[in-house]
Amino acid sequence: MTDSDDLRARLAKFTADRDWGRFHRPKNLAMALAGEVGELVAEFQWLTPEESEAVMADPAHAARVRSEMADVFVYLTQLAMRLDIDLYEVAHEKMDEVEVRYPPGVVPRSAGPSTP
């Protein structure tokens, strides 16, 4: 089993043990994901670019960032499970598209693409 498989199995058991599957519809999971992304963004909202680069140097701030990133990852994984999407597969597919769209040397480094 991979780390991804382990997490998916743990999330499935956690959800089943609490009978939360009935709440985990794609719409609800997407909305929860958006909320968690907002909480992650809030951790960086008023930081300068330099402060955002050094955020992990402050243990308390680093703990909050890790926690919010975990929430985002968990909800995204649950949404992918619900929709039967292999996130690693679609991430590679997306990178294939982006590599074609933005070959090296074509896009100035200061104005990079919006994805990813």
pLDDT, one tens digit per residue, over 58-70 is 999 999 999 999 9
Query: What is the share, in percent, of the chain residues with pLDDT greater than 90?
Result: 82
Q: Are 69 and 20 in contact (CB under 8 A)?
A: no
pLDDT greater than 70 at residue 109: no
Instruction: Write out the chain in H/E/C secondary structure.
Output: CCHHHHHHHHHHHHHHHCCCCCCCCHHHHHHHHHHHHHHHHHCCCCCCHHHHHCHHHCHHHHHHHHHHHHHHHHHHHHHHHHHCCCHHHHHHHHHHHHHHHCCCCCCCHHHCCCCC
Structure-token pair, residue 83: 């929709």
pLDDT greater than 90 at residue 45: yes
User: What is the reported pLDDT for 101?
Assistant: 87
pLDDT, one tens digit per residue, over 12-26 is 999 999 999 999 999
pTM of the model: 0.86
User: What is the reported pLDDT for 28?
Assistant: 97
User: What is the reported pLDDT for 49?
Assistant: 96
